[in-house]
Amino acid sequence: MSTTTGGKKVQMLDAATMVLATMRKKGIAGIPRNYELVYEALNASNPALTREFENLGPNPVQAELDEVGAKYFAHHHKTTVVDGARDKISDEVESMLRLLRQEQSSLESYTKLLGETYQRISTKSAASTEILTGIIGMLSSATGDTMEKGKVVVEHMVERAFEMEQVKLELDEYKRIANTDPLTRLANRRAFDDALPDIYNSQRDSMYHALIVCDIDHFKKFNDSFGHPVGDRVLGVVAAVMRSTLRKDVFIARTGGEEFAVILHGTSQEITMEVAERIRTAIEKTPLRNQKTGMDYGPITVSIGVCMASDAENATDLYNKADIALYLAKHGGRNQVQIFNEGMAGDIDRNWLIYRK
């Protein structure tokens, strides 16, 4: 796979390694929003983003990175939710602890009073009605005060619990936005990187999973011939077709640029190939026309690489092998499905530089 950065073609044998190397070189902090920004800039799916990233220079500060990120990624506006949530939760917890400490002190004082009262009642000097009446009044007052304080503590605790639940809801919403590609509304690369390793959580079940990677053929042609709005529409059409073709519980992600990925659970090689072919056929049959002018932008096709989880050692190996199958699908004429086998490794070495979008 290749990408354009500064007008040069760079072979992306390992996109993650390339991103991390760039971040280290430029002194960019390794936080999720920076990773996404650098990945998309290096991927060059949006030339304007790539140019702005390059214009930041060798050592961009976080404020500059966030300004660019907020411009191209809607969810970057939500970073303040996470930045402020930690302090807010800390304040709420501290407030709750103070209330509990006060309640503990009040209960200890009340317990001490009960003990002293018991001692006084137990003595002969406490036999008079006047003394007993005084003790009962004192206990009644102390009990009422303690119950009232306890009621106040409970009310405060309920308020704090509600406020913390609101913070949790804000964080859940941020997580959803941060893991969603804003253009296609599919899961993004961050979500994909989190989901793929789960395949290997169980050695017993890993043999029943598979990865499908799809890449739009000649995607650059749509951008160059018709402009980026049409290119964005192509991405949206492919995403919509994949979503409608697959079950709702199937994980689908836009992993970068014009590439998509599907993680299948509880599947066989035969079923996986049927699913991949169904995706390819559905996309090929979907027209891309301008509804107002009637202009036909030409067919959309995808090349697809497949790898069964049982043919890989871990998530990284699984992705690399599915990618190899994708490369050979491209080299074999595009608009086809290839499944990885061990014999492909030698072919990819000979044909690597032939592959282009």
DSSP annotation string for 207-244? GG-EEEEEEETTHHHHHHHH-HHHHHHHHHHHHHHHHH
CA distance 300 to 294: 16
Which of 90-94, 191-195, 243-247 bottoms out in mean pLDDT, i.e. has the lowest? 90-94
Say whether both 66 and 97 belong to one domain.
Answer: no
Say whether both 149 and 275 belong to one domain.
Answer: no
Say whether both 9 and 67 belong to one domain.
Answer: yes
Say whether both 251 and 126 belong to one domain.
Answer: no
Say whether both 51 and 92 belong to one domain.
Answer: no
Highest mean predicted confidence (pLDDT) among 8-17, 107-116, 287-296 = 287-296
> What are the tens digits of pLDDT across the range 86-104?
556 656 666 666 666 666 6
Domain that holds residue 152: 79-178
Tell me whether residue 259 is one of the annotated catalytic residues.
Answer: no
Q: Cβ neighbours of residue 344 under 8 Å, at least 6 residues apart?
A: 324, 325, 328, 338
Say whether both 327 and 233 belong to one domain.
Answer: yes
Active site residue: 258, 274, 284, 313, which one? 258
Q: Is 122 helix (H, G, I), strand (E, B) or coil?
A: helix
Q: Mark which of 73, 93, 109 sits at the end of a domain.
A: 73
User: What average pLDDT does the segment 184-208 reach?
Assistant: 85
Q: Mark which of 158, 178, 198 sits at the end of a domain.
A: 178
Statement: the pTM of the whole predicted model exceeds 0.85? no
Q: Mark which of 132, 148, 178 sits at the end of a domain.
A: 178
**Is residue 183 in some structural domain?**
no
Specify the residue for token string 């749509």. Answer: 222
Say whether both 121 and 26 belong to one domain.
Answer: no
CA distance 181 to 179: 7
Say whether both 167 and 122 belong to one domain.
Answer: yes
Q: How many distinct structural domains can be found in the chain?
A: 3
Enter the tokens of residue 229. Answer: 């709005």
Say whether both 207 and 338 belong to one domain.
Answer: yes
Question: What is each CA distance from 232 to 5, 220, 248, in whole angstroms?
Answer: 20, 11, 23
Say whether both 153 and 54 belong to one domain.
Answer: no
- Given a contact cutoff of 8 angstroms between Cβ atoms, the answer to whether 187 and 251 are in contact is yes
Q: Enumerate the β-bridge partners of residue 211.
A: 263, 307
Say whether both 215 and 320 belong to one domain.
Answer: yes
User: What average pLDDT does the segment 57-76 reach?
Assistant: 80
Say whether both 269 and 325 belong to one domain.
Answer: yes
**Is residue 90 in some structural domain?**
yes
> What are the tens digits of pLDDT across the range 101-154?
666 666 666 666 666 666 666 654 545 555 556 655 665 666 656 656 666 666
**Is residue 8 in some structural domain?**
yes
Say if residue 142 is exposed, middle or buried (CB neighbours under 10 Å; 0-12, 13-18, 19+): middle
